[in-house]
Chain A
């Protein structure tokens, strides 16, 4: 007993020693940080005096800086951390720090953006969370709603309430206003804490993609109702549409994530007027989560039957979108719910491998006479924030002005010929903002120009677009099919225009950045939902497990979240 006591005492002593050493170490680093900030303050002071010595055009300079597109003299440097989208290619001799776009910014705005770190797109959120945790954030960066909440709570970012209106160009103001919920979601206690990136629910709307050549081969018509879709799926499974004599095709493509822009289920649920991913009104008129409504069970049962009869890939539960794209390319899938950009991914890859393949998009069908609506999430897609204490918080507003003016108002695309041919230069800018329905507008203008046979009204961007389309329609270049499939007169964007025109979006009731409990619990609840749905579809658990899921969902934070959403709704409707 005594020995144990002695050992414990010894262990405690060692622990204390370690704590003390570590604490004093911490103090040391703190004082270091102090001196650091002091030196930076000093140096900024000197640089200030430096500019004031050449104060001949100082007054003049400040007025140009205040203009939306005014240039900094002398040039400034601001830091950022950014993601580089997968597959970004740079022209010869250029890289992320030095390219045609950075040169533009330096020459025309006097802003040099320094990337303190870069990561591939998929890792951006993680890297950002770590960066936020360290408290040492760059001058500006793009964050998501939860991160914005976190940053506001941590008091790490600059208040932009006065800065945005003062420096914003007309086009930027107009662009942000296109998303009615954007500014509100970036406002905390009356203070605008970020520049929101506007989105449009119509752009995220679901549609149905179907193999046209398979339909023709099996003498099938375009689906008008969900029953038609099911009949087509059945035929695609049983009647050997690829003609290879083996039963190796599936009806409906599906990924293990269930939701999203490729091989997802939102559109299927829409046919039943169920919206499992958004907030809807329940019978009592209150906000409720669509994913726990009792009618969902019926839809899941339907999917379970489809799975049993082989209409859904039996292995969908382990397939991510990449694997599903492979299945599409290898002629296994003839039908899936997707979105307007699917011609670019994954269909173009599939067509490159099988040039005889033909895909067609169809508006959502319904189980009854009532029109199927696409679920409209809160679409503000991100926020640009400025570090608290940054010297030039207005710089990002000016960069946004410049980007919009250049790409959108003046339509000065970097030449698609020559050095930048085939290179996605829009991946270059460290800040990207665009009118959410820009692509639809382009498609509609091209369509009208073709109808009126007057192409003189088109901008250079649109002419480039049309040229690429013609490489497919006239030149037979299958590699340009995606351009035609999306932007063609009957392209998938035309469907988006119809959705906008006919208001075919069921907008979620909750249009804001996540509530506190959502930040804490929603991902666990989403996981629970995904797990339950998947298992019911695969027949691993019975449809009755749905009821257990609903009560679990409520118990593990769902009720509290519903309360918060209702509070928000009462205040903001």
Chain B
């Protein structure tokens, strides 16, 4: 026992700062959930405000199009997760085949640059390049004889514009993780496969993909926890009344009710629902990951 303690004590001490931070910044604020059940008056505080039970949740149903907003959030987030999973992986596989180091590095740097631009800046750029009258993208469509598309002002196109622009911004960054995973595959496996007469496709299917499977599963599980985070910054900077129908998400709703209208109780109730669903989803995905990919953290 004492020997085991001596071995583990340094590790436990190393764990301490992180644990304290989590307690203060992740568990502490959870107390604020109480507000969701109160008619919260800031000066009276959490303990002085009147308890109204589920009234805030009932009021949620009175928000016009609440379910639409909910559906938008799920749709945009799920599509982002799927696209954000496939695109970087495919890109990493392709990039991995490039033998010219300088070219490879150059491309890699180029594609992850947008990650460092904020949505405030990017939205201004996107409004200009997606303009149906004189934007670059629509000019391109017109040269191919297609009808110009109002990407940011058409409820049908808006969610896809969100998803594509988000993937464009972030896929370069995701690629890095897959490239790292790819370097972790034992090269002797490829040599053996070549000896057995496997071509490029065979190698990819039987060595490369299984080799990065655990990373892919890990990233999926992690991103499922974010399933209801459809990206406040992006949506907030790009949306407008005409695309509220398909573009309004829970976070922008919380922002408007909570910060703009100062209805903290209601906003907390929305946030709470969001958290509960996210929690359920992450538990579910974790179970699925264990069952199908034999992957588990604990």
Residues of A that sit less than 8 Å from B by CB: 18-19, 21-22, 125-126, 129-130, 132-135, 146-147, 150, 153-156, 248, 256, 258, 314-315, 317-318, 323, 519-521, 523-525, 527-528, 530-531, 533-535, 538, 540, 552, 556-557
Contact = CB atoms under 8 A, between A and B. Distances in A.
Interface residues of B, number: 39
Contacts of B244: 527, 531
B127 interface: yes
A521 B62 contact: yes
A323 B127 contact: yes
Contact of A150 (B256, B259, B262): B262
Given A132-B262, A256-B240, 10 more contacts: A133-B42, A248-B133, A317-B243, A318-B127, A318-B152, A318-B240, A520-B263, A524-B64, A525-B64, A540-B154
A531 B262 contact: no
B294 interface: no
The 6 closest A-B pairs by CB, nearest first: A154-B43, A317-B242, A133-B42, A135-B43, A317-B153, A534-B241
Contacts of A528: 64-65
B44 interface: yes
A344 B109 CA distance: 45
A81 to B, nearest CB: 15
A155 B49 CA distance: 13
B241 A19 contact: no
A557 B59 CA distance: 10
Nearest to B152: A318
Please report whether the interface of chain B is mostly helix, strand, loop or mixed according to DSSP.
Answer: helix
A318 B153 contact: yes
B153 A538 contact: yes
B262 A147 contact: yes
Contact of B43 (A22, A126, A156, A248): A156
Residue with the greatest number of chain A CB neighbours at <10 A, chosen from B44, B240, B243, B256? B240
B45 A538 contact: no
Contacts of B132: 314-315
Nearest to A129: B262
6 contacts: A18-B27, A150-B41, A150-B262, A256-B240, A520-B59, A523-B257
B31 interface: yes
- Judged by DSSP, the binding face of A is helix
Interface in B239-255: 240-245
A309 B149 CA distance: 18
B150 interface: yes
Contacts of B153: 315, 317-318, 538
Contacts of B28: 18, 22
Nearest to B40: A133
A251 to B, nearest CB: 15
B261 interface: yes
A148 B54 CA distance: 27
B155 interface: yes
A317 B241 contact: yes
Nearest to A529: B241
A211 to B, nearest CB: 20
Contact of A540 (B127, B155, B257): B155
Nearest to A147: B262
Given A314-B132, A317-B240, A153 B41 contact: yes
A416 to B, nearest CB: 35
Contact of B133 (A153, A314, A523, A530): A314
Contacts of B154: 540
Interface string B219-247: 00000000000000000000011111100
B63 interface: yes
Contacts of B262: 129, 132-133, 146-147, 150
A538 B242 contact: yes
Interface in B32-49: 41-45
A537 to B, nearest CB: 9
B264 A133 contact: yes
B91 to A, nearest CB: 30
Nearest to A552: B64
A527 B256 contact: yes
